[in-house]
Amino acid sequence: MSDSSETVSAKDTEEVIMEATFRALSKHGYTDLRMRDIGEEMDLTRQVIHYHFDGKYDLMSSFLEYVIEQYEGSVQVDEETDPRSELDARIDQCLFGPEFEEFTHWDRMKVYHELYTYAQNDGEHREIFDDHYERIRGSIVEVVEDGIEQGQFRSVDAERMGQLITDVIHAARGRRISLGHEDAPEETRRAIDEFILDSLHS
Amino acid sequence: MSDSSETVSAKDTEEVIMEATFRALSKHGYTDLRMRDIGEEMDLTRQVIHYHFDGKYDLMSSFLEYVIEQYEGSVQVDEETDPRSELDARIDQCLFGPEFEEFTHWDRMKVYHELYTYAQNDGEHREIFDDHYERIRGSIVEVVEDGIEQGQFRSVDAERMGQLITDVIHAARGRRISLGHEDAPEETRRAIDEFILDSLHS
DNA sequence: CCAGTCTTTTACCGAGCGGTAAACTTTTAC
DNA sequence: GTAAAAGTTTACCGCTCGGTAAAAGACTGG
């Protein structure tokens, strides 16, 4: 009986809970999230959550890591190309999401952004997010540095430039999510091209 | 007895409640805010809130408008100067706050930002924020347009440029508040200068 | 000074929340 | 095959929350 579709292990259940938490969070928002809401999003009863996680706070902490892992795991950029192409690819991926999950991307980002804001009131969560942000920013900075070394970009402060790009991306996503500006990512993509990346060449 | 310090009108009480709400929100965050917390931040009992406001939701809606009014009321820019100076002044004010309330500025921004994020789950609140955001963005766009007309800036899409600047400001504030990056406003100020405004001239 | 109105306090409540205990079911180990 | 371990469900609970009713106080105009 090694039929994998029938064998439900503990890890599987935790994954089920994570996905149920994601759906519940999408529907109700962080502030109004009840354990009951999560239970209603899965076939198991809400009490199993207490078997696998040590209360609501522990659940949210685990979910936070789950969301970030998913985010970082979904980033896939062809590193064989030149710095400018890679930079473009990374920006596109941050603004529009990976192609293979176009439809869930903004649902995931909405939850991600809400968690991000709430993290300001919780030292542990804040640290997790800070580390994550640093990795995203670092990957952008790296590309800029490569571009400068290879002479494709003019010599600028790569840290500052990378930070600026990361911030702009973040703001555009936040604006789309919080204010419903659906064209924010596209408009921002153009603005980055015209006003920021343009000054990297010449 | 027209001694104004003794006469407590209904408006005064509502102001007291608003400020108590602000303090409670600063301490506990939106998600964990209880009516009790607000009561503890003022000399009156928490039940008076129900006399002046129709429940928690109505209180939060009123508070949202209160915060935005305060924000917009605090913006004061000398319009006699040239576009570039006015643009600089507006950016500084958004990033560092009005000089006369340097110490409460970031407390206020923290609450503002939290409300902003949670507005995504409430159509009414979202609209209030959207209108507000539009006014801030509009004021930046206007200055850019003036600069172009007066020949101080090169001819760019003012809407797009204004939006970009507004987004960058927003992101820097969010990063300082959510991740605790205290140098974010200053670093962002430099990045705007070096990479964005620079491309407005020449 | 007093009746009437506005405002605040005191005392209280029902609903709904997160969490637990114990029964029950399934899987594992030998 | 069976006993122990792991996982899940059922039933339940205590507590805290936002909100209310009525008493108490503080201002009005006459």
Task: Give me the tens of pLDDT residue by residue for chain B, a chain 202 residues long.
Answer: 333 333 446 679 999 999 999 999 999 999 999 999 999 999 999 999 999 999 999 999 999 999 999 999 988 888 778 999 999 999 999 999 887 777 889 999 999 998 988 888 899 999 999 999 999 999 999 999 999 999 999 999 999 999 999 999 999 999 999 999 999 999 999 999 999 999 898 7
- Count the residues in chain A: 202
Strand, coil or helix: what is B183? coil
Residue A58 placed within a domain: no
Binding-face residues of A in 81-120 toward B, CB within 8 A:
110, 113-114, 116-120
Same domain, A22 and A89: no
Same domain, A5 and A91: no
The nucleotides of chain C lying under 7 Å from a protein CB are: 6-11, 16-21, 27-28
Contacts of A64 in chain B (CB under 8 A): none
Q: Which residue has the higher pLDDT, B113 or A6?
A: B113
- Per residue in A62-91, pLDDT (tens digit) is 999 999 999 999 888 887 789 999 999 999
Same domain, A24 and A83: no
Same domain, A115 and A141: yes
The closest nt to B12, taking CA to C1', is C7
Rounded CA–C1' distance between B9 and C3, in angstroms: 22
Sequence-distant (≥ 6) Cβ neighbours of residue B195 within 8 angstroms: A156, A160, A161, A164, A196, A199
Rounded CA Rg of chain A: 20
- Output the six-digit token pair for A93: 């991926």
> Domain tally for chain A?
2
CA distance B151 to B119: 40
pLDDT recorded at residue A117: 83
CATH code for the domain of B3: 1.10.10
Same domain, B25 and B71: no
Contact criterion met (CB < 8 Å) for A167 and B188: yes
Determine contact: B197 vs chain A, CB below 8 A: no
Nearest to A178 among B117, B178, B199 (CB): B117
Q: DSSP secondary structure string, A110-159? A: HHHHHHHHHGGG-HHHHHHHHHHHHHHHHHHHHHHHHHHHTTSS----HH
Instruction: Please say which residue of B10, B27, B52 terminates a domain.
Output: B52
Q: Which of B50, B63, B53 is nearest to B18 (CA)?
A: B63
Residue A183 is part of which domain span? 67-200
CA distance B190 to B197: 10
Model-level pTM? 0.90
Contacts of B120 in chain A (CB under 8 A): 29, 110, 114, 177-180
- Output the six-digit token pair for A117: 């804001």
Rounded CA–C1' distance between B16 and C9, in angstroms: 17
CA distance B31 to A121: 10
Contacts of A130 in chain B (CB under 8 A): 179-180
- What integer best gives the mean pLDDT of chain A? 91
CA atoms within 13 A on the CB side of A157: 12
Same domain, A6 and A94: no
- Output the six-digit token pair for B187: 């670093």
pLDDT recorded at residue A2: 33
Same domain, B29 and B84: no
CA distance B35 to B71: 24
> If you search the block for the tokens 């062809």, which residue do you land on?
A78
pLDDT recorded at residue B4: 36
pLDDT recorded at residue B10: 67
Average confidence (pLDDT) over A84-101? 91
Element at A28 (helix H, strand E): helix A10-28
Binding-face residues of B in 116-175 toward A, CB within 8 A:
116-121, 126, 129-130, 133, 156-157, 160-161, 163-164, 167-168, 170-172, 174-175
Residue A21 placed within a domain: yes
Same domain, A71 and A125: yes
pLDDT recorded at residue A26: 94
Rounded CA–C1' distance between B51 and D28, in angstroms: 20
Mutate to test the interface with A, among B33, B132, B195 (most CBs of A within 10 A): B195
C-alpha torsion sign, points B169, B172, B176, B177: positive
pLDDT recorded at residue B5: 35
Q: Which residue has the higher pLDDT, B8 or A11?
A: A11
Residue A144 CB coordination number (10 Å): 24
Q: pLDDT band at residue A146, thresholds of 50, 70 and 90? A: very high
Q: pLDDT band at residue A180, thresholds of 50, 70 and 90? A: very high
Nearest to B164 among A170, A195, A199 (CB): A195
Helices B105-118 and A158-179, packing angle to 10 deg: 50
pLDDT recorded at residue B176: 95
